[in-house]
């Protein structure tokens, strides 16, 4: 029973794929061609809009990434300056300690 159901489902899936192809192959009238063309143009416009949105999102993400990289570089420079300052203070403290000893 399970195998039969599986085979029936495969036949239905294959039949649906064939139906879509047959629909496009069986366009016989100008009205059908106009409808098909209208549908395809609608899909084209929709995909162009989607592409534009994705491109805009990509550009925004690139700009955000660039800003974050600049911030990261600035913070690394600040950390290096702070480490150098800390090392200088540590040397001064060691020298004062040595003088006291």
For the chain, strand residue ranges (E) read: none
Question: Model-level pTM?
Answer: 0.53
For a pLDDT cut of 90, what percent of the chain falls above it?
A: 64
Q: Given this model, what pLDDT does residue 26 score?
A: 73
Which tokens in the block code for residue 67?
Answer: 């800003």
For a pLDDT cut of 70, what percent of the chain falls above it?
A: 88
CA angle 45-50-56, nearest 5°? 125
31-67 burial code (b ≥16 CB/10 A, e <16) = eeeeeeeeeeeeeeeeeeeeeeeeeeeeeeeeeeeee
Is 15 a residue whose pLDDT tops 70?
Answer: no
């Amino acid at each position: 029973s399970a195998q039969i159901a599986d085979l029936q489902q495969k036949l239905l899936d294959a039949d649906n794929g064939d139906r879509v192809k047959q629909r496009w192959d069986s366009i016989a009238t100008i009205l059908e061609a106009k409808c098909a063309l209208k549908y395809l143009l609608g899909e084209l416009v929709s995909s162009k809009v989607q592409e534009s949105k994705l491109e805009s999102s990509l550009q925004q993400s690139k700009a955000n990434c660039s800003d974050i990289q600049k911030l990261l570089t600035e913070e690394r420079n600040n950390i290096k300056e702070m480490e150098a300052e800390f090392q200088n203070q540590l040397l001064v403290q060691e020298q004062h300690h040595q003088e006291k000893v």
